[in-house]
Amino acid sequence: MKTQFIFFSGKGGVGKTSMACATALRHADEGRRTLIVTTDPAANLSDVFEQSIGHNITPITGAPNLWAMEIDPDRATEEYIDRAMAPIRAAFPPQMVQVMEEQMSGPCTAEVAAFDRFVDFLDLSGNGNGQPARFEVVIFDTAPTGHTLRLIELPAEWSRSIAEAEQGSGQTCIGPAAAIQEARFKYERAMQTMRDEAQTTFVFVLQPEATSIKETRRAIAELDKLGIHTYRLIINGIIPPAEAANPLLAARIQMQTGYLAQIERDLPLPARRMFLLDSEIKGLKRLRDVAKGLFDGQFETTTAPAPDSAPPAPTFQPLAAPPEAFARLLPNGQRRVLFFAGKGGVGKTVASCLTAVWLARQGCKTLLLTTDPAAHLGDVLGVPVGDQPAPVEAIPDLWAAKIDPKTAAEAYKQRILDDARRRGRPPEAIAVMEEELNSPCTEEMAAFDRFIDYATQDTWQVIVFDTAPTGHTLRLLELPVDWSKQLDVKVFASVDTTAADDVAKQRFGQVIEMMRDPNQSTFAFVMYPESTPIIEAYRAAEELRTVGIEPGLVVANFIIPPEQATTPFVRARRAMQEKYLAEISHRFPVPVVQIPLLPNEVSGLEHLIELGKRVFNGAGEPEARRI
C-alpha cells in the first residue's frame, strides 16, 4: 500500500495545526504508522503536543504509532549544502570548492533547503536520512496559504532554473547545476506524488468568515494550475448553537450562518465541521476530543461546568489603550515606522489598518503597507489596494499599497539588467546575471528591496507595515546580512565590484539602524490571549533582540468584553483570556492595547474609525475628519 500524504493548509489562525495534530493522532490510534511534519518557520507542534520535538523525527509520548518533526530552516540549510557539496569536495580542488560553497551562501539556498527537506518526506523510498520504516500516513502542517503555495510552486520553478543553467553557465543561485541535478529529479517526483489523487489529499482548514473563504478559493485555483485536484475542507471555529443566548455570540452565529451557506454553495467539497471550544487545544486528551468531533460527530464544547454566579471583577477591565502606548505610535518630531507582527490569523491586518486610519485622522501623513503574500488590506479597508501607494479616499493623509512579490521581482530584474547594460557589461556577464535573477528566490529579494525603498523614504511621517506571519517576517528582516553575502557572491562570480553594491549595503545598514531605534521604530506584536500565539510572539521577540531590536507594544486581540461573559461557555473563555492577559503582561513589559471581540468582521472605513475610537479612547479625535 502506498504512503498517504495529507496536506493541511489555510489562512493563518484558522486552526491548521490543531486539526492536523488531531487527524494525525486519530490515524495513529487506529494503528497506522503516522508522521506529522511542519513546514511553518514558526513551528508549534511542540506546544500542541506539550513535548519537545525539534528538527528530528520524534516519537510522541502516549501515542504509539505517532512521530513528529519541526523542520528547522537553519539546520535544513546546513544539511542541504553538505549533501550538495559532498561529491564536489571529492572531485575538485579546495579553491574551487570554496568558491562553490560561497555561491550557495545566499538566502535562496535557505528557501530551497527547507523545501528539499520537505520533499524528503514525499520520497520515502530510501533517502538515507535515517528515517524509521516506511510510514503509512504523512501529514504536513504547512505555513499559511500564501507561503504554502510558494513552497509547492518551487519544484517546477527549480527544475526549470536548473535545466536553464545546464544550457548556460552551469551555475544557479543555489550552487552548480551539476551538484544539484539529483535534487531536480527528486522535485519532479514530488510533483508527481502531489498530483496523484490516490495518494495525496489537500485539506483546507477555514473558518466561516469572508477572508478565509476567499483565501481558500484562491489556493484551490492556484493548485489547479499545478495539476493538483484532490481537496477536502474542515470548517473550524463554529460557535455552538446553544450560545445564541449570548448577545455577542448570537450576532456572530448569525454572521457565521451566512458564511456556512456560502461555503456549501461556493466550495462544494467533502467537508467536516468543528465547533469552537471553551478552551484551547493542547495535549493528547484534548486532541482526542477534537478527533471525536471531527470524525465521529461527538462534540464536547465545554470542558467543565462554570459557576452560575457572575465571575469576579476582571483584572483587565479597560479596553482603551493605556496613555503610554501613544508615545510608541505617534511620530515625535521625526518619522516613525510601525511593524505589526505575529502568528498568522491573530488580526495583524485589522490592527495595522485601524492604527493607520487613526494616525491619519490625527493629521499624520501615513503610508500603510503589507508584505504578506495573502494581502487582505483591501478587504479590511473596503477599498482597492494596488502595488503603488495611492490615497485612501475619505481619509486625508492616508495612503496604502501592497508589495506583490511577483510584480516586484519583474521590476527588480529589469532594473538590475538595465543598470548592467548602461555600465557596459559584456553580453556574457549579463547572460549570467539574467540566469541568476531568473531564480525563484528573486521574488523574496525583490520584495525586500521594495521594503527598503519605502523604509528609506522621507515622504511619510508614519509608515505602518502589516507584515507576513512571524516566521516569514523574521526571514525578511534577516535578509540584509544574507543578501549582502549574496551580492558578494554575484560580484565574485559574474561582475566586477561596483559602487551600486556598496550603496545597496549602505541602505540595508540604515534600515537596520532605524529598526533598532525606539524613537523611530515600534515593533507591535499582535496576539490573542492563548498559549500558542503568545509563545510564538515571545520567541520572535527574543530572536529580534539578538539583532538589537526590542518590542515596543503588544496588541491583544479578540478580547471578550467583561459585560459579555454571561454564559458558562463565554465565562470559561473569558477566564482563559484573563489568565493569558496576565501572562502577556509578564512576558512583555510594554504597553498593551486591547481590541475587543466584535459581533461582525471588521470591514470598511466607518467600522475602522469607530473601532479606533473605542481602542484609542477617542484620544485626539479630530471633529473635522469624521466621515
Q: Of all helices (H) and strands (E), which one includes residue 21?
A: helix 16-29
Shared domain check, 130 and 23 = yes
Q: How far apart are CA 129 and CA 466, in angstroms?
A: 38
User: Measured over all CA atoms, what is the biggest interatomic distance in the chain, rounded to whole angstroms?
Assistant: 81
**DSSP codes, 257-317:** HHHHHHHHHH--S-EEEEEPPSS---SHHHHHHHHIIIII------SSPPPSSPPPPPTT-
The CATH number of whichever domain residue 338 belongs to comes to: 3.40.50.300
Residue 348 located in a structural domain: yes
Which residues are within 8 A (CB) of 83 and not within 5 positions of it... i.e. 6 or more apart?
A: none
**pLDDT at site 222:** 83
How do residues 174-215 score in pLDDT, each as one tens digit?
Answer: 455 555 556 667 777 777 888 888 899 999 999 999 888 988
Highest mean pLDDT among 334-348, 356-370, 510-524: 356-370
Q: What percent of the chain has pLDDT over 70?
A: 75
How do residues 22-54 score in pLDDT, each as one tens digit?
Answer: 999 999 999 999 999 987 666 678 989 999 998
Q: Hey, which residues does 4 pair with through a beta bridge?
A: 137
In the chain, the amino acid numbered 577 is Q
Inter-residue long-range contacts of 287-290, CB under 8 Å, 24+ positions, other chains counted? 287/18, 287/21, 287/22, 287/25, 287/48, 287/49, 288/22, 288/25, 288/26, 288/29, 290/18, 290/19, 290/22
CA 496 to chain centre: 37
Shared domain check, 398 and 517 = yes
- C-beta of residue 203 within 8 angstroms of C-beta of residue 596: no
Of 212, 260, 243, 346, nearest in space to 573 by CA: 243
Shared domain check, 469 and 568 = yes
Decide which of 242, 276, 296 is a domain's last residue: 296
User: Cα–Cα distances in Å, from 73 out to 7, 85, 115?
Assistant: 19, 18, 9
Residue 216 located in a structural domain: yes
In the chain, the amino acid numbered 462 is V
User: Cα–Cα distances in Å, from 95 out to 98, 102, 172, 222, 243?
Assistant: 5, 11, 19, 44, 70
What average pLDDT score do residues 383-403 get? 90
Of 107, 120, 123, 249, nearest in space to 558 by CA: 249
Mean pLDDT value across the chain: 80
Decide which of 296, 321, 346 is a domain's last residue: 296
How do residues 117-139 score in pLDDT, each as one tens digit?
Answer: 777 777 654 444 444 447 899 99
Shared domain check, 284 and 369 = no
**pLDDT at site 375:** 62
- Model confidence at 365, pLDDT cuts 50, 70, 90, reads very high
Q: How far apart are CA 156 and CA 153, in angstroms?
A: 6
Q: What percent of the chain has pLDDT over 90?
A: 38
Residue 55 has pLDDT above 60, yes or no: yes
Shared domain check, 349 and 281 = no
Q: Look at the alpha carbons of 596, 598, 604, 609 in this order and tell me if their dihedral is positive or negative.
A: negative
Of 451, 241, 435, nearest in space to 339 by CA: 451
Q: How far apart are CA 380 and CA 211, in angstroms?
A: 9
Residue 23 located in a structural domain: yes
**pLDDT at site 490:** 45
**pLDDT at site 622:** 47
Shared domain check, 249 and 143 = yes
Residue 442 located in a structural domain: no
- For 505-518, letters b (16+ CB in 10 Å) and e give bebbeebbebbeee
User: Cα–Cα distances in Å, from 592 out to 30, 350, 556, 579?
Assistant: 45, 16, 7, 15
Decide which of 296, 318, 346 is a domain's last residue: 296
Residue 246 DSSP SS3: coil
Residue 309 located in a structural domain: no
Look at strands 551-559 and 398-402 and give their pairing: unpaired
Residue 15 located in a structural domain: yes
Shared domain check, 388 and 246 = no
Q: If 0-12 CB within 10 Å is exposed, 13-18 middle and 19+ buried, where does residue 304 land?
A: exposed
Q: How far apart are CA 241 and CA 188, in angstroms?
A: 47
For residue 209, what are the domain limits? 4-74+110-159+193-296
Shared domain check, 155 and 247 = yes
- C-beta of residue 607 within 8 angstroms of C-beta of residue 354: no
Q: How many separate domains does the chain show?
A: 2
- Model confidence at 111, pLDDT cuts 50, 70, 90, reads low
Residue 103 located in a structural domain: no
Residue 507 has pLDDT above 90, yes or no: no
- C-beta of residue 243 within 8 angstroms of C-beta of residue 570: yes
Shared domain check, 347 and 285 = no
**pLDDT at site 354:** 94
Please tell me what DSSP assigns to residue 239: P
- C-beta of residue 363 within 8 angstroms of C-beta of residue 374: no
What average pLDDT score do residues 254-278 get? 95
Q: Hey, which residues does 367 pair with through a beta bridge?
A: 399, 463
Highest mean pLDDT among 35-39, 319-323, 477-481, 608-612: 608-612
Residue 214 DSSP SS3: helix
**DSSP codes, 76-132:** HHHHHHHHHHHHHHHHS-HHHHHHHHHHT-SHHHHHHHHHHHHHHTT--S--SS---
- By mean pLDDT, which of 201-215, 454-468, 571-585 is the weakest? 454-468
**pLDDT at site 494:** 41
**DSSP codes, 552-590:** EEEEEEEEPPGGG--SHHHHHHHHHHHHHHHHHHHH--S
Residue 26 located in a structural domain: yes
The dihedrals phi and psi of 2, each to the nearest 5 degrees, come to -70, 150
Of 441, 460, 325, nearest in space to 401 by CA: 460
Residue 311 has pLDDT above 50, yes or no: no
Residue 327 has pLDDT above 50, yes or no: yes
The 3 state secondary structure assigned to 520-535 is CEEEEEEECCCHHHHH
Which is higher by pLDDT, 163 or 249? 249
Shared domain check, 588 and 471 = yes
The 3 state secondary structure assigned to 55-76 is CCCEECCCCCCEEEEECCHHHH
**pLDDT at site 514:** 84
The 3 state secondary structure assigned to 459-523 is CCCEEEEECCCHHHHHHHHHHHHHHHHHHHHHHHHCCCCCHHHHHHHHHHHHHHHHHHCCCCEEE
Name the pTM for this structure.
0.79
Shared domain check, 383 and 264 = no
Which is higher by pLDDT, 169 or 578? 578
**pLDDT at site 489:** 40
- By mean pLDDT, which of 5-14, 242-251, 392-401, 489-498 is the weakest? 489-498
Q: Look at the alpha carbons of 562, 568, 569, 573 in this order and tell me if their dihedral is positive or negative.
A: positive
Shared domain check, 211 and 343 = no
- By mean pLDDT, which of 69-83, 212-226, 239-253, 306-320 is the weakest? 306-320
